[in-house]
A and B are shown apart, each in its own frame.
Chain A
């Protein structure tokens, strides 16, 4: 099929429509056909391409939520930067938290290509109109939690995100390629941290096991509600924003984690977890969806704390941003000579 050509035509038409304000190219049906065939042919949709409003809105929501998760996700780990037990671990953790801020920046940029702005998105986060991943509403109570987050939380994120590298929206897909590289690195570091604890003193081993016990189920919840309760799944898969269902990815993650837990010398806190020869997958116990929805609605252990800290950082930083803007404006307007005394 000449989908690439159709797509190019749609792009040209969209450009013309934009340039000639009163031209009546507006054949939406033709745009839609071109969009659909581009998606069907696994072409990338780019910022200047025509796209359905709902596709744009879904992407803004998803990318923003992803960006917010990176930013809020800095908190549970940053909680341990000042207490990291060795200088090597401290350096690794600092670098990781720094990467997360960087991922947030890539993702806000990707969202901005859809016609929104970072300020607008942050405002939605601060006022609770946009969400972030429910996992970051759990507290980091011991040093081992830093390892459990790396192994399980980053592991789940990678399982979710690797397919996004083929997402139909180009800027998001490209951001994910960069992010996934760094995430896999973090995931291995988390695993290695847990391994050191597991092979350490009995106290360290117990600390690692306790962390895995607390993070296992919340990590499985990161894949979202079961397929039959997932509101956006069908449409997102049709648009090739999503490539696999929540339950498929969750199953993939469980199958990956079981042997890793064994080689870590740690157990997963699920009595129903066992290999199913017939399915070729691990069966696992029921997820507490009541807890999931509770956390999502704001009643998790740290929801209040996370959003308060974020809002505070933003509000307390307002004078800094304003001063920087005023300084930049003076340079542009040339109203103040450098070094001139203040009036």
Chain B
């Protein structure tokens, strides 16, 4: 039994990342700067929600896990729970996360671990997400002065959430610490091509590293969960 079981901690961590970021992108519906982005952001949100549903279902009932766990039991990265901010913040978050996800899923897909089949499908979606984020980083960074300023500010603001992506996750057969240099190189290359400066600040919050994976979140996350879970929790045991 134990040999074929999917590592719960790892499945939850990856599933929570996808679930939470999908939710944040869903908040854009009806607010995007151009109609094509209504389609694109919803598309990415749907891909991520699909990944979350597969990953959470490996662990248990997807709805129980999404709607009945409290904040301290979620193990998503703090990066993905950050509020959308302006479009540049959303794009910076997408750039950082999709680059990470692309490296991770490519490695998992190449192996023969329990996540290989899921990763083989997800890596194609994630390549599209990464391309979308890259294109927008270039357009905002190397477009107008206002675009450049906002994109630079967004990259700085989210920089301190980027180190936690490379904290080892129990049961995840991927060399996360080893992935960090590839991530830095890839993101750095895109930022430079976008005429942006690679941020120099610390890459983690001072008080703890990898906190999201330990269930320690930032304040906006509780509010997000309150909204997400409210209806489900108001009707215990109901099916929808």
A residues near B, CB below 8 A? 71, 74-75, 78, 81-91, 94-95, 97-98, 101-102, 104-105, 108, 118, 143, 193, 196-197, 200-201, 203-204, 309, 312-314, 316-328, 330, 336, 338-342
**Which residues on B sit within 8 Å (CB–CB) of A83?**
227-228, 230-231
Given the contacts A74-B30, A85-B235, A204-B235, A322 and B144 also touching, CB distance less than 8 Å: yes
- With beta carbons under 8 angstroms apart, the residue of A104, A143, A330, A341 that contacts B231 is A143
* Interface magnitude class on chain B: 35 or more
Decide: B238 and A201 in contact? CB cutoff 8 A: yes
**Which residues on A sit within 8 Å (CB–CB) of B142?**
327, 330, 336, 342
- For residue B209, CB closer than 8 A to chain A, the reply is no
A196 CA to B240 CA, complexed, in Å: 6
Decide: B32 and A313 in contact? CB cutoff 8 A: yes
- For residue B79, CB closer than 8 A to chain A, the reply is no
Mark out the residues of chain B between 50 and 82 whose CB falls within 8 Å of any chain A CB in the assembled complex.
50, 52-53, 56, 62-63, 66-67
- For residue B42, CB closer than 8 A to chain A, the reply is yes
Shortest beta-carbon distance from B150 to chain A in Å: 7
The stretch among B21-29, B98-106, B108-116, B166-174 that forms the contact with chain A is B21-29
**Which residues on A sit within 8 Å (CB–CB) of B231?**
83-85, 143
| 8 further contact pairs, Cβ within 8 A, besides A309-B31, A342-B195 | A82-B26, A85-B235, A97-B30, A197-B240, A200-B239, A316-B31, A319-B147, A322-B143
**Which residues on B sit within 8 Å (CB–CB) of A88?**
53, 240
- For residue B13, CB closer than 8 A to chain A, the reply is no
Mark out the residues of chain B between 1 and 46 whose CB falls within 8 Å of any chain A CB in the assembled complex.
19, 23, 26-27, 29-36, 38-39, 42-43, 45-46
Decide: A201 and B26 in contact? CB cutoff 8 A: no
A89 CA to B228 CA, complexed, in Å: 13
Decide: B87 and A317 in contact? CB cutoff 8 A: yes
A200 CA to B30 CA, complexed, in Å: 30
**Which residues on B sit within 8 Å (CB–CB) of A97?**
29-30, 38, 42
A75 CA to B172 CA, complexed, in Å: 40
Given the contacts A89-B240, A319-B147, A98 and B46 also touching, CB distance less than 8 Å: yes
